[in-house]
Structure 1
């Protein structure tokens, strides 16, 4: 029996090479697939780890629909998402444009390194630093306001329900040391120099070049960032947990924190599993939708 030939331009890889991937799939099965499937299963029970857990069917999901705090948390991540794809993209884009405008390759390398170096620091350290900066008495923010005579603007930034969410979203300002900066910079580096030369001959200024060349050329990268932003926002919770625990007065409550509170404060593990399952399904739907859209876009481009 004659085997199928590999598509032109592709080398056939011996099947034995795929055995190298087995440890990776085994790790995924243990640390990714099993926890997800276990959570789905336990969401149908009044789960009490170590004790008898009666089957309750969809009762946990019915409870979720009446959980006002759960739905309010989606309002907060909606605000976070809008913030993440506007202001938190504008500054990295401007920084990437400024780096690429430098004529010296050495200067580009120096500034690129300085701007991405903070990514090497653990995210928790950055959050703790900003928590100290927001301290109402000794924090840097209030100290600067008092130093310039603006004592009336000093506030308990993460202790006031009116400012807590904005204070959380401002963490990391100006957000240059981030994935969007790397993506924008990489996209700009891939624009052929001939296009810029032609634009210069036509007398296009920096703003015209941004709107007519740079943004259209990085459209595919923006789509990728958009999908990753949705996934990241659905999983957002580390900063809020460290700095506010979802407070004050639930002003910074997000779905991940609501799930953790249900598990560790209310000890309602079955309900927490149901909330986790919903987040998992939402994240999976966004990921699969992005993959399908990417494949469809690729076929259209080839057509």
Structure 2
């Protein structure tokens, strides 16, 4: 009897978490997967019927989905190049310095701002008529660069990404700072004695030892970038001319406005598979070099 209780004990402790995940995570995923193989004449009556892979075949010829997916990939690249790199540089500059906790808290403040509020405020900053950005360009004599940042197809995606980067670089800096503080300072001292300069120490010591932290940040960035939604929806709703359209915004439009529930379900399953594949590729590549 005691042995049986001992064997069941760990599962009893895990039961609440398993139940929660089953209800709110695994069941919705399974239901969504099931819906992706169905079609519907009327979503209001729930009159669904089996269509097999028809929704997935439709995705192959959906030009807007292809464009939205490319925008997602561009968002991933911008999010890795801008906030992740800025966060790493700030963390390297702060580690070991007095007052680093104060500066880390200041850098982290944008993370606490609700994305919707950030989109609204930055929308005012980008406003072509009274926005602070164009006024600043006028003051410093660069009025020729003034433009409708969110209304131009050539700048809209990058401009919206800057909003997301502003709210994300502080998170990256804090994570990298925690990772840097776990590195033994004596390693740098030994390298300095051997004649290594700051760049050599960063390249040969900091980056290799920070690889697990860097892997976490990059995977987290990929996942967040591929399912990004709120800032783009509030700032541009995918416009102008679908220049900021991403998969999550497109799915929302299909599900809420057009009522194509099953097609949106198939799209979400493809997006999930892409996120999983990209994450596994990054993890495997990093672990191979470790």
Band the TM-score falls in, shorter-chain normalisation: 0.7 to 0.9
Residue of 160, 165, 177 corresponding to 1:168: 160
Aligned residue in 2 for 1:39? 32
Aligned residue in 2 for 1:282? 274
- Identify the structure with the greater helix proportion: 2
Q: Deviation at 1:275?
A: 0.6
Quick check: 2:119–2:163 contact (8 Å CA) kept in 1? yes
Structure 2 unaligned blocks of 5 or more: none
Quick check: 1:241–1:257 contact (8 Å CA) kept in 2? yes
Aligned residue in 2 for 1:237? 229
Q: Deviation at 1:64?
A: 0.9
| Partners of 1:157 and 1:297 in 2: CA distance | 40
Q: Map 1:1-303 to 2 at 5 A.
A: 15-47=8-40, 48-102=43-97, 104=98, 107-172=99-164, 177-286=169-278, 293=284, 297=287
Q: Residues 176, 56 of structure 1: CA spacing in aligned structure 2 closer, same or farther, 3 A cutoff? A: closer
Q: Deviation at 1:55?
A: 2.1
Shifted more, 175-184 versus 203-212: the winner is 175-184
| Partners of 1:211 and 1:177 in 2: CA distance | 21
Q: Deviation at 1:172?
A: 4.9
- Across the aligned residues of Structure 1 and Structure 2, the Cα RMSD in angstroms comes to 2.8
Q: Deviation at 1:17?
A: 4.4
Q: Deviation at 1:31?
A: 1.4
Q: Residues 46, 33 of structure 1: CA spacing in aligned structure 2 closer, same or farther, 3 A cutoff? A: same
| Partners of 1:173 and 1:38 in 2: CA distance | 34
Q: Deviation at 1:245?
A: 0.7
| Partners of 1:25 and 1:242 in 2: CA distance | 35
Q: Deviation at 1:195?
A: 0.7
Normalised by the length of structure 2, the TM-score is: 0.88
| Partners of 2:219 and 2:206 in 1: CA distance | 20
Shifted more, 23-32 versus 171-180: the winner is 171-180
1:214 match: secondary structure: helix
| Partners of 1:263 and 1:164 in 2: CA distance | 24
| Partners of 2:242 and 2:121 in 1: CA distance | 23
Quick check: 2:238–2:245 contact (8 Å CA) kept in 1? yes
| Partners of 1:85 and 1:49 in 2: CA distance | 41
Q: Residues 146, 290 of structure 1: CA spacing in aligned structure 2 closer, same or farther, 3 A cutoff? A: closer
Q: Residues 139, 265 of structure 1: CA spacing in aligned structure 2 closer, same or farther, 3 A cutoff? A: same
| Partners of 2:168 and 2:229 in 1: CA distance | 21
Q: Deviation at 1:257?
A: 1.3
Aligned residue in 2 for 1:7? none
